Structure 1
């Protein structure tokens, strides 16, 4: 089977598994590039080259995993976030493209130049913290995480990218203070979401996804703790669910935060909470 034939075969397999044609086409190519090690123009220059038996086996395994619902990024072993190629592992939240907007919102609240103290709460594999450090090397970036496995992955990503972030094995604000900005993509899904959850979520840590009946079991205590960790005028930015972001916004106002705003994601859904201490 040539690479061109393998691409058609892989696309058909994914379409049979229920993937829309355009998605099947894109993912088939990514999985085939992963199996062969040939990418971009090189892939098409060698489109008539036959797959080696080991490459065919790798492709079959990857297609079976994807058809079973495993996230594409976990099969490839990497995810691109804000232009950074990050290693991803089962049991650690895979960074989502929509969370890139949270990074943009965070950068908008920071001084255009000069140092600032920033904390990423629940960093997972380090995506937000590393993206902020990459965008603004002068920032003093901290990242807290309670999962040792996630923290190990975050540190590995930082080493590979050569980015200096201070990782802390601690909950929430980790005892820090005088912070200019706290940013977090905490677990925010209400428990009721489990029944209708897409199969991809089965490969990720439940503790990184679900947060009690209203989805605020982590964000609510973070809101309270951030009040003492932020410097005067410091900002809190959270990614939440459209069903609970307005609830926490009202609680932020009652807690004495100012300039409280609910901001949309790229699809226009209420997604982000911004508040100032």
Structure 2
């Protein structure tokens, strides 16, 4: 039987063509934490311990998938997001760190406020509304999504953490069901914003495995979701309600202009930790 240290090196070597270092090392760490149910420190302290045959076989099956460049989050079936360990599969986009920054912005700007009504549009795995609900327990939080498959994942995540988010299956380009006009304090959205022409710049495993419905917009109409969600926000937000977008950095000024022309106040482009314009916020 292999030791933990030997198995870690075996994973790194086996997936190196699909995921060069240092990514291979990070993935090996995640795989072992998941299969052995040990954290980073425990793995280091127990590096000479032998791995059970069933656990080694589970790792070998994961290696086969990783060698096909399948994202490790899909292989493990989980992704970490703002303190939650969410279920994910190829029906949903893998939550990104910049979306955690969007959640953090909302929580900081509404710290201490009770009884807020919040809608997340294009909810996917439910990462945004679930993180908000977990940190704003008195809020009424909705998650809207067109894909039934994605909503199945979101519901499973809500059940895992016993979070009372209300899920709405609807196309955002149709009327939003079940929410009264002028009733929301916050609308937040990370809609599709990657241009079709940007596919050639993306990693092959993203294109091959992640749902294109959640990623791409036509080259000729990159702001189609932002225009529609802006109209929805004008209808559903209360006076002084807040709108939060994650954006394609190429279109930060266009989104700002769109909101200003729609009559929103306090329109602000917010940079992420890497200094990229990735969020826009505005007040009704």
When the two structures are superposed, what TM-score results if normalisation uses the length of structure 2?
A: 0.90
**Which position in structure 1 is the counterpart of 2:195?**
190
Between the aligned partners of 1:148 and 1:18, the Cα distance in structure 2 is 32
Superposed displacement of residue 125, structure 1: 1.0
Q: Which moved more, 1:8-17 or 1:138-147?
A: 8-17
Pick which of 143-152 and 44-53 moved more.
Answer: 44-53
1:212 aligns with 2:212: no
Moved more, 52-61 or 196-205: 52-61
- The farther-off stretch of 106-115 and 257-266 is 106-115
**1:199 match:** 204
Separation of aligned partners in 2, 1:62 and 1:255: 49
Q: Is the 8 A contact 1:126 1:157 kept in 2?
A: yes
Cα RMSD, aligned residues only: 1.9
Other-structure match for 1:8: 9
Unaligned runs of 5+ residues in structure 1 are none
Deviates more, 1:103-112 or 1:240-249: 103-112
Kept in 2, the 8 Å contact 1:191–1:215? The answer is no
Q: Relative to structure 1, is the Cα distance of residues 276 and 31 closer, same or farther in structure 2, using a 3 angstrom cutoff?
A: same
Does the 8 A contact of 1:31 with 1:63 survive in 2?
no
1:73-112 correspondence to structure 2 within 5 Å: 73-110=73-110, 112=112
| Cα distance change, pair 56–167 in 1 and its aligned pair in 2 (3 A) | same
User: d(CA) in 2 for partners of 1:46 and 1:118?
Assistant: 45
Taking the aligned partners of 2:205 and 2:91, their CA distance within structure 1 comes to 12
Q: Answer yes or no: is the 8 Å Cα contact 1:110–1:116 preserved in 2.
A: no
What is the rounded CA distance, in whole Å, between the counterparts of 1:234 and 1:68 in structure 2? 46
**1:116 Cα deviation (Å)?**
1.0
Quote how far apart the aligned CAs of 1:47 are: 3.2
Distance 1:253 1:156, change over 3 A: same
2:56 maps to which residue? 56
- Which secondary structure state, in structure 2, belongs to the residue aligned with residue 243 of structure 1? helix
Q: Which shows bigger deviation, 73-82 or 172-181?
A: 172-181
Equivalent in the alignment of 1:20: 21
Distance (Å, rounded) in 2 between the aligned partners of 1:45 and 1:242? 43
Deviation string, structure 1 residues 113-139 (Cα, Å, up to 9, x no partner): 321111011111110001011111011
State the alpha-carbon separation in 1 of the partners of residues 14 and 86 from structure 2: 27
Correspondences of 1:146-157 after superposition (within 5 Å)? 146-157=146-157
1:52 CA drift (Å): 4.1
Structure-2 separation of matches of 1:270 and 1:96: 15
Secondary structure of the residue that 1:95 maps to in structure 2?
Answer: coil
CA–CA separation in structure 2 for the residues paired with 1:140 and 1:152:
20
1:91–1:203 CA contact under 8 A, matched in 2: no
Q: Secondary structure at the match of 1:215?
A: coil
Correspondence for 2:134: 134
Could you tell me how far apart the structure 2 residues matched to 1:67 and 1:217 are?
37
Secondary structure of 2:194's counterpart equals coil
1:34 shift after superposition? 3.1
What do residues 70-109 of structure 1 show as CA deviations (whole Å, max 9, x unaligned)? 1111111111111011111112111112211101111233
Q: Distance in 2 between matches of 1:111 and 1:18?
A: 40
1:154-165, aligned counterparts within 5 Å? 154-165=154-165
